[in-house]
A and B are shown apart, each in its own frame.
Chain A
Amino acid sequence: MYQYDAIDHQLVAERVAQFRDQTERFLNKELSEQEFLPLRLQNGLYVQRYAPMLRVAIPYGMLSSKQLRTLSDISRRYDRGYGHFSTRQNLQFNWPKLEEVPDILAELAAVEMHAIQTSGNCIRNTTTDQYSGVIADEIVDPRPYCELIRQWSTFHPEYAFLPRKFKIAVNANENSDRAATQVHDIGLHIKKNAAGEIGFKVIVGGGLGRTPMVGVTICEFIPRADLLTYLEAIVRVYNQHGRRDNKYKARIKILVKALGIDEFRLRVEDEWKHIKNNESTVPAAEFERLQSFFTEPSYEALTDNPGALTDKLAESTGFSRWFERNTFPHKKPGYRIVTLTLKKAGQAPGDATADQMDKAADLADKYSFSELRVSHEQNLVLADVRQDQLIELWNDCKEAGFATPTLGLLTDMICCPGGDFCALANAKSIPIAEQIQAEFENLDYLYDIGDLDLNISGCMNACGHHHVGNIGILGVDKKGEEFYQISIGGASGHDASIGKILGPSFAQEEISRVIHKLIDVYIGQRTPEEHFIDTYRRIGITPFKEAVYAKVN
């Protein structure tokens, strides 16, 4: 994991002091509400429906058990004993007191954490695949590159007041894209060229919200040394030409669309030619230095499929289900990647109580070199578990509520906080998640349905990524009443697409019936190999529409 040196410590300490001063001046009325707003936002502090919300960065999802214990401790002492893991590898506290936030930040700083740029119109926390560094099929470990981008974007003096927030995600895996890079302002795909050199395919102008778009490729291969100057060029063009008159049209996706990718690319290249090869060109030694923070833990020489695993798999369906769904092949023999699901029925997706955080930290200490990851799907990951210890880990997970064996299935949904917490919501989303979890509790049925992303947002801002759910649910307001619009056919991986709206929206109590109908159409039409999304792509929206809106008589 990345370790701060004296320089990083000092930077974060200076930020804490600065924010303490800003908060005091706001409380003394020396700073107006309007002036304090972007200052607090740049430090992850929203003012929400019931209380402020503080968003803590978990850079590229890496967390030590010590850091997680600090988060749980903070949630107990300053909040209500829980936190919410978000889709952007952040943790949100829903009930901190404004006057205590500087103290919270100081406690975070002590364990090398912060809330810098987790909100506001600046470059946000860079996200990546939660299985980075351990998954068998990645091209290289993306984390050193994420750390490079983190440092470049932290307090970048030119880009603290962009037209709009700016999100970068990195992927280094050709078979899967767990970071949804194509729906980010910039998506970076790490590649190797024919000479074996590392570089990036650069995708620009993706995003969700009011005008959802899949990004377009601006450049097929930028050598890694040029990464920062090329990013500079893109963000600089955006800062100068992005619209500022309308917040919904201020994102880079609107600029790229308005200019067309060719004109946008010309402008970026024109900018780049002035700064290419300047001091920000990254020397190989820096990549080596960053890489050295992400060296392998002390793995033991083991072999795959030890008896302790295979015997248990044969004996216990519960265990083998969990193994099949919630664990992944590791690049090292004898190890496995394990996802701890935070999707237990009755618990808001992504929520973790302080006790659960402590428990997860204990599990990381016991089974996984004291490290964890946070995933885009709002789960936690133990990246380095010995296969012969999986059975023991599974038993521990069951106790803690982390063993719901449904990763990637219908009930492993992404869900925003919605009307229960969020001031912007048009409708609640957590009760919808609960309704669906209750309806689809039969595991055999869920397994039969297979891989399916279901995403729920409480409003057009799309925090729950509903547009890229294979099934997406969006809360809408109709004359003061809460309704839900359903879309199908979205996807967030390498095959990213924006879902299509099925038709008129539904009342809350109808949702699980509607989802059932959609699933029935899929099951009736699928070929043996097809996932929901494939069947949809083959047969189109009409059969789904007909089934859902058919008159009952």
Chain B
Amino acid sequence: MQKLIKDGSIVENQYSLIQDGDSYTDSNGIIPVDKWLEKPVPTAGVWLNSDQNPNLLKDVDLSQFAVIGVNFPAFVDGRGFTYARLLRERYNFKGELRALGHFIPDQLGYLLRVGFNSFDFASEVNLDSALKLHKTFNIKYQGDVSDPRPIFLKR
């Protein structure tokens, strides 16, 4: 299986991504969220598409998931940035938050700041080059998931 970047290193992927239409009973799978909501089987996690807001999961105990994926159908579709923040800050998800799909390495700085810690890039992306961009700017004007304090509380 394709490797991924997780917590700043290139690692093996432990989970299989279940697409719509696949069978979704793999206990090591990341299942489409609507399928899981129809039939909540034990699983590693669920994934949201860009039109599936995390409030779909507001009544679900997220601690049962090791991983939640957020799909970027195109890298310019920025809804996933908000979803990640909501999962971390509003729904308090502590597990692995994985970006899926067609985001690009140059977005890593922003993705890290909204709470993603794992990155399953499209297959054509060179992970060694991407790893070089796995860092945020040193200065952050706004609060973010890792530090909610805006710059005016830090100057």
Interface positions of A (Cβ within 8 A of B): 5, 7-8, 10-11, 14-15, 18, 22, 30-31, 35, 38-39, 121, 151-152, 154-163, 228, 236, 239-240, 244, 274, 278-280, 282-283, 286, 289
Contacts and interface: CB of A to CB of B under 8 A. Distances in A.
Interface string B118-155: 00000000000100000001111111100011111101
16 contacts: A7-B155, A10-B139, A35-B75, A35-B104, A39-B106, A151-B141, A155-B140, A156-B141, A157-B110, A157-B111, A157-B140, A160-B78, A163-B78, A236-B82, A274-B90, A280-B148
Instruction: Indicate the member of A8, A11, A31 with the most B CB atoms within 10 Å.
Output: A11
Contact of B75 (A158, A161, A274): A161
Contacts of B139: 7-8, 10-11, 14
Contacts of A274: 90
Contacts of B151: 7, 151
Nearest to A274: B90
Given A35-B106, A39-B106, A157 B76 contact: no
Contacts of A161: 75-78, 81, 107
Contacts of A163: 78
Nearest to B77: A244
B152 A159 contact: no
B106 A121 contact: no
A5 B141 CA distance: 13
A235 to B, nearest CB: 9
Contacts of A280: 142-143, 148, 150
A279 B138 CA distance: 20
A22 B85 contact: no
B49 interface: no
B6 interface: no
**10 smallest beta-carbon distances between A and B, as pairs:** A161-B78, A157-B113, A11-B139, A286-B152, A157-B110, A279-B148, A151-B141, A158-B81, A14-B137, A239-B82
B32 to A, nearest CB: 19
B152 A160 contact: no
Contacts of A159: 78, 81
A161 B142 CA distance: 16
B142 A156 contact: yes
A96 B150 CA distance: 35
A162 B138 contact: no
B104 A5 contact: no
Contacts of B137: 11, 14-15, 18, 155
Given A157-B81, A280-B142, A240 B150 contact: no
Contacts of B150: 152, 228, 279-280
B38 to A, nearest CB: 23
Contacts of A162: 78
A240 B106 CA distance: 22
Interface residues of B, number: 35
Contact of B142 (A8, A35, A152): A152
Nearest to A14: B137
Interface in B63-96: 75-79, 81-83, 85, 90
B142 A157 contact: yes
A160 B153 contact: no
Contacts of A286: 152
Contacts of B141: 11, 151-152, 154-156
Contacts of A121: 76, 78
B142 to A, nearest CB: 6
B114 interface: yes
Nearest to A242: B79
B155 A5 contact: yes
Contact of A22 (B78, B79, B106, B153): B106
A240 B79 contact: yes
B6 to A, nearest CB: 19
Contacts of A30: 129
B113 to A, nearest CB: 4
Contacts of A5: 155
B122 to A, nearest CB: 11
A306 B32 CA distance: 77
Contacts of B77: 161, 244
B53 interface: yes
A279 B82 contact: no
Contact of A283 (B82, B110, B143, B152): B152
A280 B114 CA distance: 15
A14 B153 CA distance: 21
A31 B23 CA distance: 36
